[in-house]
């Protein structure tokens, strides 16, 4: 048995919900542990913020909202102004402000007034160092921190922040504590006290356990998994598998600036920005767009989504055993609506 904190002792339980399988497993684990859904909040950080579409999957926000609606849990959106592009292009400028939704239905703005100037001008690096892989810290971790610090409703209360890091993902994540005080915690402060703990419910889980939890609740995975991507949060994440690099090279909507930024960044870094033995699982055969032609080979990456099976035409269709979990009239792998067991 894995030990867990007393979940019923917290007034608020905030789940950092990217729409990916691990954050979904966090939510499902809390519900299976008997947590009242009324005390759970889903917080989704928009990586692109209010800027142009660059890293976020266009369907992710709708998928997160569909999951929240299916389980009757509120969803709060937040982002850093300008999103990924502004942070990457930052030159002798302060970090942008954080914008977030509050519990009263309003929108608040925090920060952005620092006199400390900084410069990025490079793509995030494939490293555990968050000063170089700044996308995680600036666009996700710091955003959640600002959401908690700038809302009075968390003062004098017990709050639990849940995230979906798993130990088997990397050596650096294996060193994370499954339970520890959150960075926004001020329980020992002289004023504005708030008790905030950080809990990683699936830290010791294997990937198979994550998919099993989604099967139990008949939760349809994000469309990115159905198409073969290994990660969801960002379309061109530096930690994507080889198959996941399709977004960077073959997506009809992929931005060429992403590839250019990665090449420039790689030229300045001693670390390769992509594996040397990089292989693609796509071939230009079928016209899907007036601007670019491509199609997927029927091959799923190792550890990919088990809810879908390839067909001879290369289109991923649902397995018969999972047909009840999605719309019966939808024959292609495009559904993002979750379904719960009756």
Q: 229 and 184 in one domain?
A: no
Q: How far apart, in whole angstroms, are the C-alpha atoms of residue 44 and residue 68?
A: 11
Return per-residue pLDDT of the chain as tens, 342 residues: 578 999 999 999 999 999 999 999 999 999 999 999 999 999 999 999 988 889 999 999 999 999 999 999 999 999 999 999 999 999 999 999 999 999 999 999 999 988 899 999 999 998 888 888 999 999 999 999 999 999 999 999 999 999 999 999 999 999 999 999 999 999 999 889 999 999 999 999 999 999 999 999 999 999 999 888 888 888 888 887 644 444 444 344 444 455 555 555 555 544 444 333 333 333 333 332 333 332 333 333 334 454 444 333 333 334 444 433 333 333 333 333 344 443
Q: 245 and 111 in one domain?
A: no
Q: For 83, phi and psi rounded to 5 degrees?
A: 60, -155
Our count of domains for the chain comes to 2
Q: Which of 207, 232, 258 is the last residue of a domain?
A: 207
Q: 13 and 115 in one domain?
A: yes
pLDDT of residue 160: 98
Q: Is residue 233 part of a domain?
A: yes
Residue with tokens 């073969």: 228
Q: 15 and 147 in one domain?
A: yes
The helix/strand/coil state of 283 is strand
Q: 256 and 198 in one domain?
A: no
pLDDT of residue 261: 53
pLDDT of residue 310: 37
pLDDT of residue 130: 86
Please give the structure tokens belonging to residue 282. 């796509």
The helix/strand/coil state of 309 is strand
Q: Which of 177, 207, 237 is the last residue of a domain?
A: 207
Selection from 41, 30, 82, 49 nearest residue 200 by Cα: 30
Q: Which of 159, 177, 207 is the last residue of a domain?
A: 207
Residue environment code for 21-53, b if the CB has 16+ CB neighbours within 10 A, otherwise e:
bbbbbbbbbbbeeebeeebbbbbbbbbbbebee
Please give the structure tokens belonging to residue 40. 């759970």
pLDDT of residue 248: 46
Q: Is residue 330 part of a domain?
A: no
Q: 227 and 101 in one domain?
A: no
Q: Is residue 337 part of a domain?
A: no
Q: 91 and 38 in one domain?
A: yes
Q: Is residue 281 part of a domain?
A: yes
Determine how many CB atoms are found less than 10 A away from the CB of residue 238.
18
Domain that holds residue 74: 9-207
Residues in a beta bridge with 328: none
Q: 227 and 144 in one domain?
A: no
Q: 254 and 122 in one domain?
A: no
Q: How far apart, in whole angstroms, are the C-alpha atoms of residue 172 and residue 157?
A: 31
Please give the structure tokens belonging to residue 162. 């849940």
Phi-psi region of 118 (alpha: psi -120 to 50; beta: other; left: phi over 0): beta
pLDDT of residue 229: 87
Q: Is residue 331 part of a domain?
A: no
Q: 261 and 145 in one domain?
A: no
Please give the structure tokens belonging to residue 90. 């930052």
Q: How far apart, in whole angstroms, are the C-alpha atoms of residue 204 and residue 207?
A: 10
CA quadruple 126, 306, 73, 236: dihedral, nearest 10 = 30
Q: Is residue 338 part of a domain?
A: no
Q: Is residue 25 part of a domain?
A: yes
Q: How far apart, in whole angstroms, are the C-alpha atoms of residue 258 and residue 52?
A: 13
The enclosing domain of 154 has a CATH number of 3.40.50
Q: 139 and 30 in one domain?
A: yes
Q: For 221, phi and psi rounded to 5 degrees?
A: -70, 160
Q: Is residue 169 part of a domain?
A: yes
pLDDT of residue 262: 53
Helix (H) / strand (E) element for 223: namely helix 223-227
Q: 231 and 199 in one domain?
A: no
The pairs formed by 182-191 with CB atoms below 8 angstroms and a separation of 24 or more are: 182/148, 183/141, 183/145, 184/145, 184/148, 184/149
């Amino acid at each position: 048995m894995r030990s867990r904190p007393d979940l019923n002792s917290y007034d608020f339980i905030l789940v950092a919900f990217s729409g990916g399988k691990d954050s979904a497993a966090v939510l499902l684990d809390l519900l299976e542990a008997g947590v009242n859904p009324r005390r759970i909040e889903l917080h989704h950080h928009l990586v692109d913020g209010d800027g142009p579409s660059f890293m976020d999957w266009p369907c992710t926000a709708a998928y997160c909202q569909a999951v929240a609606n299916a389980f009757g849990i509120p969803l709060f959106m937040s982002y850093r102004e300008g999103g990924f592009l502004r942070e990457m292009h930052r030159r002798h400028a302060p970090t942008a402000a954080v914008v977030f939704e509050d519990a009263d239905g309003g929108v608040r703005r925090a920060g952005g007034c620092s006199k400390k100037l900084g410069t990025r001008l490079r793509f995030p690096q494939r490293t555990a160092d968050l000063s170089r892989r700044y996308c995680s810290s600036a666009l996700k971790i710091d955003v959640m921190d600002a959401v908690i610090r700038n809302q009075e409703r968390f003062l004098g209360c017990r709050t639990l922040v849940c995230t979906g890091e798993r130990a088997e993902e990397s050596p650096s994540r294996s060193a994370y504590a499954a339970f520890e005080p959150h960075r926004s915690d001020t329980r020992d402060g002289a004023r504005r006290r708030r008790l905030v703990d950080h809990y990683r419910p699936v830290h010791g889980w294997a990937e198979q356990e994550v998919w099993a939890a989604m099967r139990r609740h008949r939760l349809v995975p994000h469309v990115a998994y159905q198409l073969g991507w290994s990660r969801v949060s960002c379309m061109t994440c530096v930690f994507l598998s080889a198959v996941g690099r399709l977004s960077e090279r073959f997506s009809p909507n992929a931005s060429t600036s992403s590839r250019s930024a990665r090449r420039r960044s790689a030229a300045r870094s001693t670390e390769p920005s992509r594996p040397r033995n990089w292989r693609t699982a796509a071939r230009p055969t079928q016209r899907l767009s007036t601007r670019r032609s491509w199609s997927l080979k029927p091959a799923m990456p190792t550890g990919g989504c088990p809810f879908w099976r390839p067909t001879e035409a290369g289109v991923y269709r649902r397995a018969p055993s999972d047909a009840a979990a999605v719309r019966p009239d939808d024959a292609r792998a495009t559904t993002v609506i979750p379904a719960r067991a009756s």
